[in-house]
Structures are given as structure tokens and as C-alpha cells.
Structure 1
Amino acid sequence: MATAARPAEPLRISILSLPESGTMAAFGLHEVLGNTATDADALSRPIRPVLVARKRGAFRSSTGLQVTPEADLGCSDADVIIVCDIHLASDETPEGRWPDEIGWVRRHLERGALVCSTCSGAVLLAEAGLLEGVEAASHWSMADLFRERYPGVKFRPERILCDSGHGGRLVTTGGASSWQELALYLIGRFCGAEEAARVARLFLLGDRSHGQLPFASMARPRQHGDAVISKVQAWVVDNYATAIPVSAMVERSGLSERSFKRRFSAATGYAPVEYVQSLRIEEAKQMLETEDVAIEEVSVAVGYEDPTFFRRLFKRRTGVTPGQYRKRTRIRTFPM
């Protein structure tokens, strides 16, 4: 799959934390987004997250942990801003609480930035009047507040991710852990589905009911100095779908079958058939993550004419069926 040259400029994301916010979303978003395209050879766009607050000084979060922001509201060059969750007691009101933050959010929206909220952070956007007349997601416990204080907002507590207007430049999410969905959405939107899938595997984001196996990638073959085996490895990367690939590899090596298998295993740590299967499954996973082709087409594309065998092999290697893998790894888009 052809990829574009890596953009020189990183995507600038400001994560707004309030004294009424917790730390899970702010710290989690910062770490996950900051691990996007960290490899010097990566082709996807890197992200530069910055933790922002009203003032630069350290403060206590709603959970009592100390937060030390990297920038204050004077920063105005973000491509994306994220308003973190807000915790208010039952006798507290949002009225008049965040005039500086609201002004900061509005300025970014007017300048063309993408404005997002996670969990109950949508309350600040509603208080700013940005959600009037549009659908918005937030934590389900905010239903009464939205009904009473923001009756013009079409509150959607069942949504995880919601396009909340302004031409796709306002996004709200619901639930305490919805920051994970937002992180993958932003990576997918700006850096590509492949990078989002890589980050999801790295941090085990998504459905974990089948354990870690669906997130695992092919272990990198060990470094070695066997030139014959290196030549065969280079060939099979582009020809893994070849019929009877191990026989073709033996032929290209010029060795006897027994000698080839022994040297290949010693050099790479894989038996030849396991190596080919791993390459094929990794390509199948990438197709399932990024393309809308039938499972049978994926099977043939990676070298398996028998889709039933492919499904069995895929499940043995990943712990889930190809269909389950596709469902859990596709990057979430706006529900329509």
C-alpha cells in the first residue's frame, strides 16, 4: 500500500484540564496521542499533545492528584482542542464558572480548530452555547442537567462519539473512558487508520474480552548475518501470497529443503511455514482494519484459496474470527 511522505509539521492538540476535571482523560490522552508516529521512520503524521489549564501553575484535580499544565490559555495555535471531563457536586452549578476557558474554546473554533470534549466536558461546550440545536454526547449522569439547563441540546447519552455540528469541527463523546475512543478517532482522522490500529494494539484499546492476543503483532525476526536467508526474506515480503511459498523459498535459496529449513529457523527464529503464515495474517489484519472487502477476498489476497482454512488459521493466531477482528479494530466514525 502506497503511503504519502511524512508531513513536516505535527498535529498540535491542546488538552484542557480544569480544577473540576479528573486526571484519567487528561493524562491518558496525553500519553496515547503522544505515542503517535514516534518512530523516526514512521510515515504517518506525528501528534504533539500539550496539557493546558487556565494558569501554568500546578493545581489539584477533582481527584486530589496534582496537575502541572505545560501551557496556559495564552496558547492559541492548536489544531485540535479537547475539553476534559468535569465533576460537579449535586449542589454546584456550572453558571459563570469558566468564562476564560469558554472564550479560549470559542476563539479556537472561530479560527478553524477542531473542538472536542470527553465525557462530561460537554457541559462546558453547552455552557458556551455551542451545542444549541445539535446532538451531543456526554456521561449518562448528565441527562438531568442537560434537560433542565440546556433544553435546546439534543442530548444523546447512548452515543460514544457524536458529530455535534459546525461542519464536523465539534465532537463530543460520552462515558468516563470515552477518551480512548476519541484518541483513536483523532489518530484515524488525521494520521490514518493504520496508525490508529497500531496505537490501539500498543495500548490494548478497544474490546479486551478475548485477552491480548488480538492486539499482538508478528514478532520482529532476529537480526542475523545469513545472506542467503536475508535474500529469501526480502523476496517473500512481496510474494507471501505465492502458491506453495515454502517450496519457492527453498528453490530461490539454492539449498536442499532440509538445509534451508534448518538455516531459516536458526537465522529468523521462525520455521519457514510459520514465517509465511505470520506475514499473511499481518497483511490480512491490515486489510480488515482499513478496507471494506469481503472476508473471502481477504483470504484469497493473502494466499489462501480456502476461506474456511483461512478463518481457522486466523482465529488460532489472533484468538478471534476475521469478522470479530474487523468489528473491534475499525476506527469509529460518526453514527448516522
Structure 2
Amino acid sequence: MSAPTEESHEPNFALLVLPESTPASIYGLYEVFQSVGRDWEILTGEKPTGGRIRARIVAKDGTPPPSRFGVSITPHEGLGNPDVVIVSDLAFPPDWDPRGQWPAEAAWLRERYAAGAMICSVCTGTVMLAEAGLLDGHTVTTHWAIVELMKRYYPSVELAPQRILTPSGEGGRIVTSGGASAWADLALHLVARFSSGTEAVRAAKIFLLGDHSEGQLPFAGARRPQRHDDAVVAEVQSWIADNYRTENPVAVMARRSGLSPRTFARRFRAATGYAPIDYVQTLRIEEAKQLLETEKSAVDAIAFDVGYEDPNSFRRLFKRMVGVTPARYRQRFARIAAPAGDS
């Protein structure tokens, strides 16, 4: 399938509710998808780099199914014709027999897949895809606790439970994910595929999706510039946005303002909330972060590209401001920007 990423088409994602569905992943996925192309601009002022995603919670007949989990999940609408269907994790005992369950929903999944849609699962939701007959002959992942159940009832499915995310099928249109928290990996994969890699990284930063062992700094973006009516400072901000690589940028900014360095520094901080040097360093480091996320250039080359002649000084500043080294930052976020299965 050619993923519907054209600017003229806002992809429709359906989060399928079944009696066994658990609410955490459904609502988590819904919130992430709704944020794409919207929340990062609200937080930082940076424009979207990809399209929005229309996410809806759906169920047969558009009504809440009886919940075996104890929490009712209210759908927006009936099954419809989405571009992507996601079956979240399902709560059932390990000795449960899933055969013959969900006949209407299973038929709908087969119909949507035949029409070119992408079909995805979270955790034990893999069982639903297997029951629909979509996984025969494919390599998929699922929660380790139901491996034996899958082998018993769906022996034609190739299991790879050591994996977290596994695209398979024609054009990678079947995507399975491992444990219940793997909904986050699936969400970022789909955002990168249907919006943009940059939007996927932004979603990871907004919701702090990923490794938390190094704290919150690696996820943080530059705060949204505060509004002001100082025309002199605004002109300097406009200039430095395109010229942050300039040598001794603060001195040049002060000269362009026509003010003494001391007066300029005071007015700039009053207008923006930043000292001039902190503002320039923030611009440079944010640009370096984007290059590390999307480019394969060496760290030394990126340091030079954003205005630092001494790569060691750049590394020290980056670690102080971001909390990790440039190499570690790239390791964390470059894989998010490229959907799984992409080279």
C-alpha cells in the first residue's frame, strides 16, 4: 500500500473497541495521534512538518460493547472505512479459546485490509488479527504470555516474541507490537509513516515516550518565545534566526540594534526572557538536535554547521543543555524519525 501521506489527505485511524479491550492503550494512542501537527507548535511556536491525523474510537454499531475489563469505553462512531485500524491489548485468561470470537469485526478487518488499509495490533490484540486470518504465514510479535495460546490456535503464524515492533505483509501493512506499553512504539511508527519523522520525534518529546533513565532534559524543546513589542529586538531576532552561525553573534546583534552592548543585553532579556548568548546557543543547539535526528553527518560536521569551530566545546555545551551527548541523542531519536523497516 502507498501510505496516504499526501498533503491533501488526512489519514483516518480507527481504534477498535472490543469487549476485552483495555482502556490505557486506546486512550494513549488517541491522545498522541490527536496531538500531531498541533501541540508542538502550541508549546514551542515551531510550525508542523507533517500533516494531521484523524483518530476515532470505533466499535460495532457505534455503541459501547459490554466490558470484561470493568471500564466502559465509549466509541465515537461505527466501523467505517479508515486507512489504519488498531486493535489494542485485550484482557483474557491464558486458557481462553478465542476461536469464533468477534465475527463481525474480523470480517471488517479482512475487508479493510483487502481495500488497502494498514492493520495493527498492540500486545494481545495480535489474537484478533490472527482470528481474522490476516497473520497466516507472516512473522509477528505479541506478548510473551500468550505465545503458547497463539501456537495452539493459530499454528500458521510465525511468532517472534523477542521483538517489540514487527511490520509484515505487503508493504508492511500489518504491524504488530509486543507488550501493553508497546502502544507507544506503535504510535511513533505510525506518526513517522503517515505524518513525518520530525512529528514522531516531537510526539515522543511531548509525551516523554522512551527511555527515562537520563531524565527529562533529552525530551525538552526550546520554550515558546514570549511575545513583545520591542521592534529593535524583533529585528535582531529575525536576523539571528538565519545567521546564528555567524562568528561572535552577540556582538553583531548589538551593532545591528544600534544600542550599546550593555543596553542591548538588558533590552533583549526584557523582551525575550533570554540573555543574548543563551538565545543564540538555544537556536544552535535546537538546529543541531534536528540534524542529529535526521542527518547522518558526523558530530564534528554538525558542530561546524551550527556555528561551533571547536567540536569539543560543542559537545560540552550540548551535554549541559540536553542532558546527553550528541551521539547518545542521535541514538535515542534518529530511530524514531525513521519508521521501523525503513533503511
1:167 aligns to what SS in structure 2? helix
Structure 2 residue aligned with 1:110: 114
* Counterpart in the other structure of 1:32: 32
Correspondent of 1:211 among 202, 209, 215: 215
Inter-partner Cα distance in structure 2 for 1:170 and 1:290 = 26
Name the SS for the 1:93 alignment partner. coil
CA contact (8 A) 1:14 1:50 kept: yes
Amino acid in structure 2 at the alignment position of 1:13: F
Which secondary structure does the structure 2 equivalent of 1:234 belong to? helix
Say whether residues 1:323 and 2:327 are aligned partners.
Answer: yes
* Counterparts of residues 85-104 of structure 1 (less than 5 Å): 85-104=89-108
Find the residue that maps to 2:60 and give its secondary structure: coil
Q: What letter is aligned with 1:28?
A: G
Change (3 A) 1:268 1:303: same
Separation of aligned partners in 2, 1:217 and 1:42:
14
Counterpart among 37, 46, 53 of residue 52 in structure 2: 46
- Which is helix-richer, 1 or 2? 2
Whichever residue aligns with residue 305 of structure 2, its letter is A
Question: Which residue is 2:61 aligned to?
Answer: 55
Pair 1:194-2:198 in alignment = yes
What aligned pairs does 1:232-251 form with structure 2 within 5 A after superposition?
232-251=236-255
2:314 is matched with: 310
Partner of 2:297: 293
Q: What's the Cα RMSD here?
A: 1.8
Q: Is residue 288–residue 306 contact of structure 2 (8 Å, CA) maintained in 1?
A: yes
CA deviations over 1:57-81 (Å, ceiling 9, x no partner): 22443431111111223x12x1111
TM-superposed CA distance for 1:205, in Å, is 1.0
Moved more, 220-229 or 269-278: 220-229
- C-alpha displacement at 1:94, in angstroms? 0.5
Residue from 69, 73, 98 that aligns with 2:75: 69
Q: Relative contact order, CA 8 A, sep 6+: which one is greater?
A: 2
Change in CA separation of 1:155 and 1:43 when aligned onto 2, cut-off 3 Å: same
Amino acid at match of 1:34: Q
Contact 1:161 1:335 in 2 (8 A): no
| Paired-residue identity, % | 48
The question of whether the paired residues in 2 share the 8 Å contact of 1:280 and 1:303 is answered with yes
Q: Does 1:264 align with 2:268?
A: yes
Q: TM-score when scaled to structure 1?
A: 0.93
Q: Which residue of 1 aligns with 2:180?
A: 176
The aligned amino acid for 2:22 is G
Structure 2 unaligned regions, length at least 5: none
Note the C-alpha offset of 1:147.
2.1
In structure 2, relative to structure 1, the CA distance for the partners of 1:62 and 1:242 (3 Å cut) is farther
2:63–2:77: 8 Å Cα contact kept in structure 1?
A: no
Q: TM-score normalised to the size of structure 2? A: 0.91
- Which residue identity is paired with 1:103? A
Checking the alignment, whether the CA contact within 8 Å between 2:94 and 2:149 is kept in structure 1 is: no
User: How much has 1:249 moved relative to structure 2?
Assistant: 0.9
- Cα distance between partner residues in 2 of 1:61 and 1:291: 46
Contact between 2:177 and 2:186, CA under 8 Å: does it hold in 1?
yes
Q: Which residue does 1:147 correspond to in 2? A: 151
- Do the aligned partners of residues 6 and 102 (structure 1) sit closer, same or farther apart at CA in structure 2, a change above 3 Å counting? closer
Q: How do residues 105-144 of structure 1 correspond to structure 2 at under 5 angstroms?
A: 105-144=109-148
Residue number in structure 1 paired with 2:257: 253
* Post-superposition offset of 1:335: 5.5
SS of 1:46's equivalent in the other structure is coil
| 2:162 alignment partner, one of 146, 158, 162 | 158
Partners of 1:167 and 1:225 lie apart in 2 by 52
In 2, the alpha carbon distance for the partners of 1:129 and 1:46 equals 31
SS of equivalent residue, structure 2 residue 187? helix
Matched letter for residue 29 of structure 2: L
Number of residue pairs the alignment of both structures matches: 330
Is there any run of 5+ residues in structure 1 with no aligned partner, and where?
none
The Cα shift of 1:241 comes to 1.1
Q: Does the CA contact (< 8 Å) of 1:84 and 1:118 recur in 2?
A: yes
